[in-house]
């Protein structure tokens, strides 16, 4: 996950497939793809001036190739190891 200011995230394709999930206070905003279910980005309650985004959603970027970035493959959960 990486963070950018709200003005720093631009959805180039597929915005029509994003679905918003909010709970409790409604301040935090979590976005998911309605087709595949992947988490794409969020705006947190603790710092609503930035978006956290899933680096794996960036075209041409393989998060496994980035040094020092923890990666979860979605299959092998740390509690299963």
25-78 pLDDT, tens digit per residue, is 888 999 999 999 999 999 988 898 999 999 888 889 888 888 877 777 667 766
Domains and CATH numbers, the chain: 1-7+15-61 (2.170.150.70)
- CA geometry: angle at 53 spanning 51 and 34, to 5°? 105
Answer yes or no: is pLDDT of 24 > 70. yes
3-class secondary structure, 24: coil
42/53 Cα distance (integer angstroms): 6
Quote the pLDDT of residue 4.
92
Q: Which residue has the higher pLDDT, 2 or 18?
A: 18
Name the band, by pLDDT with cuts 50, 70 and 90, for residue 81.
low
The token pair that represents 5 in the structure block: 């200011």
Quote the pLDDT of residue 34.
96
* CA dihedral angle for residue 34, residue 32, residue 26, residue 48, rounded to 10 degrees: -150
Quote the pLDDT of residue 69.
73
Reference 29, options 17, 16, 18, 15; nearest CA is 18
């Amino acid at each position: 996950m990486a963070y950018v200011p709200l003005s720093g995230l631009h959805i180039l394709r597929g915005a029509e497939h994003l679905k918003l999930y909010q709970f409790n206070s409604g301040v935090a905003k979590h976005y998911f793809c309605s087709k595949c279910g992947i988490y794409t980005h969020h705006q947190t309650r603790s710092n609503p001036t930035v978006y956290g985004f899933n680096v794996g959603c960036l075209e041409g970027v393989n998060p496994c190739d980035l040094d020092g970035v923890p990666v979860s493959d979605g299959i092998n959960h740390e509690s299963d190891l």
